[in-house]
Amino acid sequence: MKTACIQMNMALGNTAANFERAKELIRLAAKDRPDVILLPETWNTGFFPESGLREMSAGASERVKAELGGLAREYSVNIIAGSVSNLRDGKVYNTALILDRAGRCIASYDKTHLFSPMKEDKHYAPGQELCAFSLDGIPCGIIICYDIRFPELARSLALRGMDVLFVVSQWPNKRIHHLHALTAARAIENQAYVVCCNSTGRTKDIQYAGCSPVISPLGNTVAIGDGFESILTAELDLSILSEIRSSIPVMNDRRPDLYKL
């Protein structure tokens, strides 16, 4: 599986400009013929404009399905459309949408752990379900930014057979070492690839780091981005998974009698 992470620098609150920039970068990434293209967290609005958020979020998922779904179909590429601020049933969710090569939305995920230090929980509603899906027959899962601090979530996806965990984020520069440590931990403990797409740029006096990590099931760095808007490509060798899992049978040696997961 070849992945392309778009480290997008979005404009806070400018959904029109952000959609156009996202489509431009997807077209650029598609030239390298990846299997999967990823965008970062809340790329349609940035993270996040408190004033007018509901209005900016209206119709977001429908627009992603129509416009990015068209690009997925045009280039025959799977697109993990990052996440968008998304108004649904009167509430704003931080929603990830997964589009297959035919442009169909095959899965969606609402961020379950909301970042209370920045009052995300005051402006967004939390999701209530995990998200496991397949791309080209490969079992995958997705989480969003702060979710990665909760190992139960990734382990629950691993217990469903996940081979690749996708992470979309807007992670700040001052804590980028946390993101790198956490992505490595989630990869090692779940014996799965972790592909993280992080944003760049500056909003609300916060500098976002880029530096997107792609981590192997052994915790090795397959690829890592720089600190600027760019496209990071990486090849995932899924053939190594069976040997890693048989040599250290973590899942078989679990003690679920002592804990619920």
The C-alpha atoms of residue 196 and residue 218 are separated, in whole angstroms, by 16
C-alpha–C-alpha distance, residues 59 and 97, integer Å: 13
Classify 71 as helix, strand or coil.
Answer: helix
- Alpha-carbon distance of 98 to 135, in angstroms, equals 9
- Among 212, 179, 221, CA closest to 8: 212
Picking from 202, 200, 224, the residue whose alpha carbon sits closest to that of residue 210 is 200
* Active site residue ranges: 41, 111, 145
Structure tokens at 260: 């619920």
d(CA 63, CA 169): 20
Residue 206: its H or E element: strand 206-209
DSSP three-state, residue 141: strand
Q: Please name the amino acid found at residue 209.
A: A
Please tell me what DSSP assigns to residue 258.
T
